[in-house]
Structure 1
Amino acid sequence: MDEVEIRLTKDEALVLFEFLSRFSNEDKLSIQDQAEARALWNLTCVFEKTLAEPFSVDWNEIVERARDRLRDES
């Protein structure tokens, strides 16, 4: 499996951890603080610098195959 390494500031990691933990507990994504939105925007920028696939013409197929590989088996 290919791996991608990303770097976050400690503040980004803390804020994103809280955001994702809340989702795990409540099964609902909601921004409760502007810092959460900023951390997500920053993470998107990191992905844009790291990944070429989102800019491919066959992006929809690429992400669907990734979803298939990542899903829990039924």
Structure 2
Amino acid sequence: MSDSQVTIKLTSDEALVLSHWLEKLQMTDLSQVVDDPAVWAPIHRIAGTLDKTLHELFASDYEKRLEAARQRLRPED
């Protein structure tokens, strides 16, 4: 099996919300949530890539931006 790369495209809103969730996930005991340790490496890689890419993470109004992104992503009733 080759180690070919997979590209995932996210909107900035999706990336911001996913980054926040992954950060919370990594702060827990991953073994409690993810039953296969083989999944931990990709979780850390995705989170690290998002952290390097998202400038919003360091904005003074981060929480406001995060909530706005969440609102835009939630399905309308």
Is the TM value for this pair above 0.5? yes
* 2:55 matched residue in structure 1: 52
Which AA in structure 2 matches 1:72?
A: P
TM-score by length of 2: 0.55
Percent sequence identity is: 31
CA gap 1:9/1:35 in 2 versus in 1, 3 angstroms? farther
SS in 2 for 1:66: helix
For 1:48 and 1:67, the matched residues in 2 are separated by 18
Aligned residues: 49
* Aligned 1:1-74 pairs, distance under 5 A: 9-10=5-6, 30-74=33-77
Deviations 1:1-59 (A, max 9, x none): xxxxxxx945xx8xxxxxxxxxxxxxxxx301112121111001110121100111111
Gaps of 5+ in 2: 9-32
Higher relative contact order (CA 8 A, sep 6+): 2
Gaps of 5+ in 1: 1-7, 14-29
Q: Which runs of 4+ in 1 moved over 4 A?
A: none
TM-score by length of 1: 0.57
For 2:42 and 2:72, the matched residues in 1 are separated by 27
